[in-house]
Structure 1
Amino acid sequence: MANNDDLAKSHNRLLENNRAWAADKQLRDPDFFARLSAGQSPEFLWIGCSDSRIPAELITGLEPGEAFIHRNIANLVCNTDLNVMSVINYAVRHLAVKQIIVCGHYGCGGVQAAMTPKDLGLLNPWLRNIRDVYRFHEAELDAIADDDARYKRLVELNVEEQCRNVVKTAAVQQSYALNRYPVVRGYVFGFNDGLLKDLEIDFEAMLGNVQKIYNLAT
């Protein structure tokens, strides 16, 4: 059971840290909050996992206003998820982001759960999207004997598939046809070294393959 005093201390720590952060920003850059309140024009849309250990701005050194952020379990981009579809539409059509990054991470609990043959209740429909990724790449994954290596590869393939789902959207296809942006990239974060691995997604090739069936550019 949570101790009320401990909860109060944790709550107060958030507010104290916020005051310290605001004071430091004001000292280092007196115009910072004036610029922040004037509006946003981020270059990046970041679609990441909800895992608390991967704060996008901290691991990339981005400042407030530089990235539009969306996070969910296992960094999924599902066409039936109005939340992520709305985020992509707004980021592309209204904020005119230049780059969209899908970032997964090794040790992802969502991916691990999807590899577990177990009824997980409400999570089943969500995790089915990752299980579908496994099905798409079943031959490659089943050929990997080591469980940990197979798990890591599924993390990477999941990021690639979510990048493909981003490319399938009308907003991305139409904006790229008109403006040559946004470009879609896939990263995987490693807890062991704190580094982002660029999966080097061939965006042009992916777009071309997607549009053979999912052409929404006009």
Structure 2
Amino acid sequence: MNRLKRMLVENIAWASETADSDAEFFPRLTQGQSPRVLWIGCSDSRVPAETITHANPGDLFVHRNIANLFCAADDNVMSVLEYAVRVLQVDDVIVCGHYGCGGVRASLLPPSPDLPHVNRRIAPLCALARVHRDELDGVADSDARVNRLAELSVLEQVRALRATPLVRDAATPPRVHGWIYGLHDGRIKVLASGHRGDDPAPAHAPEAVLETAGR
């Protein structure tokens, strides 16, 4: 049996087992969704939001992209945020990065000519790495350097989300959290809680912002 056929067979098994254990599960899902959390995570196949948080279908409104980046000029992520805040009225927004992130690692290497779309996507990460060059250059181990930039990136996405008018000017602004997941142990570490008092300071100097926007 090939991989795709196995996936379809597993779907049948999951649907049957779920319906057997809770006859109202699927009928409830057809009535609409009311998740209280927007999850902005990485597309990495090893970091599925529902699995690592033990969530059920309907619990999370999820957006995933390379390196869990938020950019107000990206209609994809902005449309998700807009719907989450204005229609679903979520209580919390979580940016969850992960250690060992390939997108973060790529931002510390020369651009690949074979990956032009990825290069454009991670341009803000490259700019962030330049802003924190002194700190990152002081980390001798390459894996530790990648992991530190992954943390700094999560904090930068939290800051940007909190500053965007969709969040800042909402009637009831959602709390924005920064988390990072460890592939080595399956644990989530909190980098920024949803409290305004821990709002990360801007990482970008104005010149860096302009440079990133112009790439």
Distance 1:149 1:12 in 2: 40
> What CA distance in whole angstroms lies between the structure 1 residues aligned with 2:103 and 2:55?
26
- Indicate which of 150, 159, 174 corresponds to 1:155: 150
Contact 1:189-1:196 within 8 A present in 2 as well: yes
Measured in 2, the distance between the counterparts of 1:140 and 1:209 equals 16
1:118 aligns with 2:108: no
- In structure 2, relative to structure 1, the CA distance for the partners of 1:208 and 1:143 (3 Å cut) is closer
1:12 alignment partner, one of 5, 19, 26? 5
Of residues 174, 197, 203, the one that matches 1:182 is 174
% of aligned pairs identical? 47
User: Partner residue of 1:94?
Assistant: 87
In 1, Cα distance between the equivalents of 2:58 and 2:143? 37
Task: Note the residue ranges of structure 1 that are not aligned, 5 or more in a row.
Answer: 1-5, 211-218
Structure 1 equivalent of residue 15 of structure 2: 22
CA distance in 1, matches of 2:101, 2:200: 30
Shift of 1:149: 1.8
Cα distance change of structure 1 residues 49 and 206 upon mapping to structure 2, 3 Å threshold: same
Q: Is the 8 A contact 1:160 1:201 kept in 2?
A: no
Kept in 1, the 8 Å contact 2:159–2:201? The answer is no
SS in 2 for 1:41: coil
Match of 2:197 in 1: 205
What secondary structure does 1:94 align onto?
A: helix
Stretches (4+) displaced over 4 A = 206-210
Match of 2:49 among 46, 56, 75: 56
1:103 paired to 2:96: yes
TM-score (norm 2): 0.86
1:142 deviates by 2.5
How many residues of Structure 1 are paired with residues of Structure 2 in the alignment?
200
Alignment root-mean-square deviation, CA: 1.8
When normalised by structure 1's length, the TM-score is 0.85
Specify the code of the residue in structure 2 equivalent to 1:108.
C
Give the gaps of 5 or more residues in structure 2: 203-215
